[in-house]
């Protein structure tokens, strides 16, 4: 009963996010994110139908669709990346390089892990591939969050909600997947049970952050006269400061 | 089990950094805006740092200690050592604060540059971490052995300070002033 309630809440919240996206005209602003939500929404409905009408097939179906969910969630990373660094070309270039390095490093780690582990049944391979893709995604997200903090990148309410909800989901999923693949780990069982609640919390954050359109902070614009005057004033002040230091040094006994 | 630690660390760091992002957003109204005035003040501060560096090298000059050893009594030597030690510790602390301030401004200005280079940013970060490590090590050495026994690490700290100043100077040269607001305007950075 409780599980069904969480499930239905998730589906309901996804529907609300989509409806608000259409009403607040956010669909065009964050198309990749909404494509991801549509995909997850459809998968949830399919899983529900499978659980009800073909429960024997559910486990395999779950892991296959989980892989699709993880692959499509990369779209959210792209959305956050593009939206937050639109006005910061310097940081964008740095972020691209760092993320490429992290992608290659994590990808290599994951590939070597998979090769050492050998190949088991198809659902097991699918589950492991999904887990490894989540690890790569987590590493990319970590680099992005670090850069946002380091360079004090400013966020609007919409993008912040998107980033915080997504970080909560990926962060806890990464921890959970790490424990899940350890045989006989009871902590994982508890964590796995709390994950649907985390997903509902994530959806609530997205719902609140993307309820209405909020403008992103823009770099201050100046007209040409102001700009020239400010530049001239800065240069004069710098020259005066430089001169006063020199005079001070000359007058010192 | 050994593979578990980095993954759990990864997940935990994601949660911590997202919390920091949320805090950064909630404090955005209290964060001072980078203005055209900061631009000019930073340049003036930079000049004074360069001027002080030459004078500071004198605190650690072993010639002074040699002179006191030859000419002064035991009390004078002890007093001299105590004075120099206090001065040296104050200098290291001041340098740490100055470099931290410059680094902070550098990061705030990073998105206003014409020609950013990921390589120089990574180099700067690594150097900054090394500087923090070296300057804290220097503080311990100064407390334990006094200012004249830590000459090599002092030379490193001074070189690092000069490096940060020149890097910062380069950053100022490359700033796009169009993107800097004046103090009159408000906005977020």
pLDDT at B24: 86
For residue A169, the surrounding DSSP H or E stretch is helix A157-180
Please tell me the distance from the alpha carbon of residue B115 to that of residue B106, in angstroms, as a whole number: 14
In this predicted model, what pLDDT tens digit does every residue of B65-80 receive, in sequence order?
778 878 767 788 888 8
Of A142, A154, A182, Cβ closest to residue B188: A154
Mean pLDDT of chain A: 79
Sign of CA dihedral A17, A23, A24, A29: positive
**Cβ–Cβ contact B29 with A under 8 A:** no
CB contact under 8 A, B121 and A219: no
Domain ranges of chain A: 2-219, 221-253
Task: Determine the average pLDDT of the residues in B54-58.
Answer: 70
Task: Determine the average pLDDT of the residues in B95-101.
Answer: 79
Give yes or no: residues B12 and B79 share one domain: no
Give yes or no: residues B163 and B152 share one domain: yes
Residues whose CB falls within 8 Å of the CB of residue A148, separated by 6 or more in sequence, listed in order:
A84, A155, A163, B17, B21, B24
Give yes or no: residues B170 and B137 share one domain: yes
Give yes or no: residues B135 and B58 share one domain: yes
Per the model's pLDDT, the better-predicted residue between B21 and B95 turns out to be: B21
pLDDT for residue B97 is more than 50: yes
Of B3, B18, B112, Cβ closest to residue A167: B18
* Correct CATH for A2-219 of 1.10.10, 1.10.8, 1.20.1070, 4.10.860: 1.20.1070
Total number of domains in chain B? 2
| A chain contacts of residue B38, beta-carbon cutoff 8 Å | none
pLDDT at A224: 45
Please tell me the distance from the alpha carbon of residue A135 to that of residue A128, in angstroms, as a whole number: 11
Give yes or no: residues B20 and B113 share one domain: no
Of A142, A152, A153, Cβ closest to residue B13: A142
Residue pair A141/A167 in contact by the 8 Å Cβ criterion: yes
For residue B189, the surrounding DSSP H or E stretch is none
Q: Is residue B117 a part of any domain in this protein? A: yes
Give yes or no: residues B101 and B22 share one domain: no
Give yes or no: residues B26 and B47 share one domain: no
B26: closest CA of chain A, how far (Å):
10
Per the model's pLDDT, the better-predicted residue between A42 and B6 turns out to be: A42
Please tell me the distance from the alpha carbon of residue A10 to that of residue A13, in angstroms, as a whole number: 5
Task: Provide the percentage of residues in chain B whose pLDDT is more than 70.
Answer: 62
The count of other CB atoms within 10 Å of the CB of residue A181 is 16
Give yes or no: residues B22 and B38 share one domain: no
Give ipTM to 2 decimals.
0.78
pLDDT at A253: 44
DSSP class of residue A252 equals -
Per the model's pLDDT, the better-predicted residue between A203 and B139 turns out to be: A203
pLDDT at A83: 84
Q: Is residue B185 a part of any domain in this protein? A: no
pLDDT at A48: 85
Structure-block tokens of residue A155: 């966020």
pLDDT at A241: 58
Give yes or no: residues B4 and B60 share one domain: no
In this predicted model, what pLDDT tens digit does every residue of A26-80 receive, in sequence order?
998 999 999 999 999 999 889 888 888 888 888 888 888 888 888 888 888 888 8
B181 pairs with which residues across the strands?
B35
Per the model's pLDDT, the better-predicted residue between B98 and B111 turns out to be: B98
Question: What Å distances lie between residue A202 and A87, A140, A197, A242, CA to CA?
Answer: 27, 19, 9, 53
- Restricting to B residues 106-125, those with a Cβ less than 8 Å away from any Cβ of A are 107-108, 110-113, 116, 118, 121
Q: Is residue B63 a part of any domain in this protein? A: yes
pLDDT at A38: 95
Please tell me the distance from the alpha carbon of residue B153 to that of residue A94, in angstroms, as a whole number: 31
CB contact under 8 A, A234 and B178: no
Task: Determine the average pLDDT of the residues in B92-100.
Answer: 80
Containing structural domain, residue B16: 1-30
In this predicted model, what pLDDT tens digit does every residue of B105-131 receive, in sequence order?
777 766 665 555 667 777 778 888 888
* Residue segments in chain A with a per-residue pLDDT below the cut of 70: 1-2, 90, 114, 117-122, 183-186, 218-253
pLDDT at B182: 47
Q: Is residue B184 a part of any domain in this protein? A: no
Q: Which residue has the tokens 């893709």?
A: A133
Q: Is residue B43 a part of any domain in this protein? A: yes
In this predicted model, what pLDDT tens digit does every residue of B162-183 receive, in sequence order?
777 677 666 666 665 555 554 4
Q: Residue ranges of the alpha helices (H) in A54-121?
A: 58-84, 89-117
Query: How many angstroms from the chain centroid is the CA of residue B42?
Result: 14
pLDDT at B96: 81
| Long-range contacts, stretch A21-24, CB < 8 angstroms, 24+ apart | A21/A210, A24/A210, A24/A211, A24/A212, A24/A213
Give yes or no: residues B25 and B94 share one domain: no
Query: Rounded to the nearest 5°, which phi and psi values hold at B175?
Result: -65, 140
Per the model's pLDDT, the better-predicted residue between B185 and B65 turns out to be: B65
Give yes or no: residues B48 and B94 share one domain: yes
Give yes or no: residues B19 and B37 share one domain: no
């Amino acid at each position: 009963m409780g599980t069904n309630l969480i499930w239905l809440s998730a589906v309901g919240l996804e529907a609300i996010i989509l409806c608000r996206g259409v009403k607040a005209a956010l669909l065009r602003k964050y198309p990749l994110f909404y494509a991801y939500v549509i995909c997850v929404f459809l998968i949830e409905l399919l899983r529900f139908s499978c659980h009800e009408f073909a429960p024997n097939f559910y486990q395999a179906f779950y892991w296959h669709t989980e892989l699709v969910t993880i692959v499509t969630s990369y779209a959210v990373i792209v959305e956050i990346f593009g939206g937050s660094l639109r006005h910061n070309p310097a940081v964008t270039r740095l972020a691209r390089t760092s993320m490429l390095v992290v992608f290659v490093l994590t990808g290599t780690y994951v590939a070597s892990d998979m090769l050492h582990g050998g190949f088991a049944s198809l659902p097991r391979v699918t589950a492991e591939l999904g887990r490894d893709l989540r690890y790569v995604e987590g590493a990319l997200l970590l680099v992005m969050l670090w850069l946002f903090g380091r360079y004090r990148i400013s966020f609007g309410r919409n993008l912040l909600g998107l980033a915080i909800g997504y970080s909560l989901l990926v962060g806890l999923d990464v921890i959970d997947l790490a424990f899940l693949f350890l045989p006989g780990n009871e902590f994982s069982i508890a964590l796995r049970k709390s994950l649907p609640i985390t997903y509902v919390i994530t959806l609530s954050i997205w719902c609140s952050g993307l309820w209405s359109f909020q403008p992103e902070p823009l770099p201050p614009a100046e007209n040409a006269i102001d700009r020239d005057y400010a530049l001239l004033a800065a240069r004069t002040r710098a020259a005066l400061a430089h001169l006063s230091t020199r005079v001070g040094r000359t007058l010192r006994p | 089990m050994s593979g578990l630690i980095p993954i759990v660390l990864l997940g935990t760091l994601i949660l911590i950094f997202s919390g920091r992002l949320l805090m950064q957003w909630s404090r955005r109204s209290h964060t001072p805006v980078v203005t055209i005035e900061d631009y000019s003040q930073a340049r003036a501060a930079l000049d004074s740092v360069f001027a002080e560096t030459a004078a500071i090298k004198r605190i650690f000059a072993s010639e002074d200690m040699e002179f006191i050893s030859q000419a002064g009594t035991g009390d004078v030597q002890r007093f001299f050592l105590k004075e120099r030690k206090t001065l040296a510790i104050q200098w290291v602390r001041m340098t740490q604060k100055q470099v931290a301030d410059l680094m902070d401004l550098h990061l705030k200005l990073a998105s206003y540059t014409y020609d950013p280079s990921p390589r120089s940013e990574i180099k700067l970060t690594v150097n900054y971490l090394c500087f923090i490590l070296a300057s804290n090590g220097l503080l311990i050495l100064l407390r334990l052995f006094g200012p004249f026994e830590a000459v090599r690490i002092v030379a490193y700290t001074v070189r690092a300070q000069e490096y940060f100043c020149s890097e910062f100077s380069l950053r100022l040269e490359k700033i796009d002033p169009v993107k800097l607001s004046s103090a009159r305007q408000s906005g977020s950075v």
